[in-house]
Structure 1
Amino acid sequence: MAEKAMAETMEALPKIRIRDLRKSFGSNHVLRGLDLDIADAESVVVIGGSGTGKSVLIKTITGLMDADGGSVSIDGADVLKMSSSERHGMMNRFGLLFQAGALFDSLTVLDNVAFGLVEAQGMPRKQAHELALDFMAQVGLEPAVGAMYPGEISVGMRKRASLARTIATRPDVVFFDEPTTGLDPIMGDIIDELIVKCVEEFKITALTITHDMDSARRIGNRIAMLYDGKIIWQGPTTEIDRSGNPYVHQFINGLEEGPIELLARQA
């Protein structure tokens, strides 16, 4: 019975559990006790306006920025309480697609995609290149692109190469930072479709931050809205138009009038 109860508890345990997460910069309280759960192999999108703390959220989860308090548990282990070496090991299970792609300008596209395989996993260069070509193909990049440098390819192709690099190490969890920013609508659709494909095929747990509602609807199984340092609403993507939350309603419809505008006027 005890083993059965333990198994049920493990099944119910979210992949990521965030509780009372706090982060301030002086008097600017960006995260004010944020709570959020993300299930294994679930794609959650956090929406919110510029300056609401979306990027700070990802940086504190991944350890790029120290939190002031709270907990971030991955598979039941609190990342914020880990030693530097323990946290480094945990980070090796993560993938992060930066807003600007963050490819290394001095490396070819092929070496960029293979970078994590060689540097983090110690894979022989030849084997890493073979795998890198496979992942490039999955995001629609021809082998010839591998010999080019990031400065020689389009923004959309750089996004694809960054996505290939992110998934090449087969991470458990991937964080997407404004994945469609700077892209035209057609390329934005393509990147979103690739993200959905990767999440579904590799059973990745995904957390995406964006202010692009079209992208959020395509990518997310569930959407959460960040406002005033907390998650003020969350639910299935199909339910967001019926949220009943005035802040969500104003944001997703791009309305000038509403509680967000009134608070901005008072500030």
Structure 2
Amino acid sequence: MISTTPAYQPPPSVPKLSLTNVHKAFGQKVVLDGVSIDIRPGESVVVIGGSGTGKSVLLKSILGLITPDSGSILIDGQETVGLRGRKRDTVLRKFGMLFQGAALFDSLPVWENVAFGLIQGEGMARGPARDKAVEKLAQVGLGPEVADLFPSELSGGMQKRVGLARAIADEPEIIFFDEPTTGLDPIMADVINDLIVKCVKELGATALSITHDMASARKIADRIAMLHKGRLIWTGPASQVFDSGNPYVDQFVHGRASGPITMAVRA
């Protein structure tokens, strides 16, 4: 008998993603030093910061690839730190991910890359999975003729589109974007930014991105947070990031060599 018990639905006031006082260190090196942030359902938040500031570790901690030393990471109000087995799998089904560099499987045709999670994770038959892959490719502006090509036959921009199609294939509730415009020329980067905004909006998904590309951050974010030395030192609307009043943020977004960040590095 099929269970009719409805899936858990969080109250509207509960953040989709909530981090509280998250810490992570590797030996003596402190990478995350008490990160706290709430992300509302349907909101797009971008975390900016220089190399080595902890952005990737933050993302991996949320995904469960790294276990924080302390702190809480809630998805829909449910604790995920330390989850294992089926409980962790249930959480992971809510996620989609666009990896830096697309991270496609070279040995698989495009449609199998897009449908990989559907086939391997959901057990979908190959025929319906291919149809779904073609549908998602269309959403990112790629025709059905691309489906049977291999990643090596695609340009960098097309590979990134395929990666985006894979990220939305299972219609996730939360999508993570890891440096989504890295390696792209400014025009193609803007195309990818537009597609990210379009796809996230169509799905009604919550989005969390990490990047150092300010053009991308401003375009895809509702809210921007800056991570520096493992701490979120500023959070505010994307429209205010170039007029934040925070000297660290101002130096970073304007790309200035001199300022408090340089001084901290010298120290």
- Is TM > 0.5 for Structure 1 vs Structure 2? yes
1:186-241 deviation digits (Å, cap 9, x = unpaired) = 11001000000011111110000000001000010000000011110001111112
Give the deviation of 1:64 after TM superposition. 1.1
Give the deviation of 1:10 after TM superposition. 2.2
Give the structure 2 partner of residue 92 of structure 1: 93
**In structure 1, how many angstroms separate the alpha carbons of the residues matched to 2:155 and 2:241?**
34
Structure-2-length-normalised TM-score = 0.94
Give 1:24-35 correspondences, 5 Å limit: 24-35=25-36
Other structure's SS at 1:234 match: strand
Give the deviation of 1:244 after TM superposition. 1.1
Give the structure 1 partner of residue 227 of structure 2: 226
Give the structure 2 partner of residue 139 of structure 1: 140
Other structure's SS at 1:23 match: strand
Give the structure 2 partner of residue 259 of structure 1: 260
**In structure 2, how many angstroms separate the alpha carbons of the residues matched to 1:164 and 1:184?**
20
Give the structure 2 partner of residue 3 of structure 1: none
Gaps of 5+ in 1: 1-8
Gaps of 5+ in 2: 1-9
Contact kept in structure 1, 2:67 and 2:82, CA below 8 Å: no
**In structure 2, how many angstroms separate the alpha carbons of the residues matched to 1:143 and 1:81?**
41
Give the structure 1 partner of residue 115 of structure 2: 114
Give the structure 1 partner of residue 126 of structure 2: 125
Give the deviation of 1:83 after TM superposition. 2.9
| Stretches of 4+ aligned residues off by more than 3 angstroms | none
Letter in 2 for 1:12: S
The more displaced of 226-235 and 119-128 is: 119-128
1:149-201 deviation digits (Å, cap 9, x = unpaired) = 11111111111001001101000101100000000101100100000001111
**In structure 1, how many angstroms separate the alpha carbons of the residues matched to 2:120 and 2:79?**
26
**In structure 2, how many angstroms separate the alpha carbons of the residues matched to 1:37 and 1:80?**
16
**In structure 1, how many angstroms separate the alpha carbons of the residues matched to 2:34 and 2:127?**
47
**In structure 2, how many angstroms separate the alpha carbons of the residues matched to 1:10 and 1:239?**
30
Letter in 1 for 2:221: G
Structure-1-length-normalised TM-score = 0.94
**In structure 2, how many angstroms separate the alpha carbons of the residues matched to 1:214 and 1:139?**
20
Give the structure 2 partner of residue 203 of structure 1: 204
Other structure's SS at 1:82 match: coil
Give 1:1-267 correspondences, 5 Å limit: 10-266=11-267
Identity of aligned residues (%): 53
1:77-133 deviation digits (Å, cap 9, x = unpaired) = 011042332112211110111102111111000111111111111111111111110
Letter in 2 for 1:228: K
Other structure's SS at 1:96 match: strand
**In structure 1, how many angstroms separate the alpha carbons of the residues matched to 2:191 and 2:228?**
29
Hey, which of these two has a bigger chunk of helix by percent?
A: 1
Letter in 2 for 1:158: Q
Contact kept in structure 1, 2:105 and 2:113, CA below 8 Å: yes
Contact kept in structure 1, 2:23 and 2:32, CA below 8 Å: yes
Give the deviation of 1:243 after TM superposition. 1.2
**In structure 2, how many angstroms separate the alpha carbons of the residues matched to 1:187 and 1:76?**
37
Contact kept in structure 1, 2:20 and 2:72, CA below 8 Å: yes
Q: Would you say how many aligned residue pairs link Structure 1 and Structure 2?
A: 258
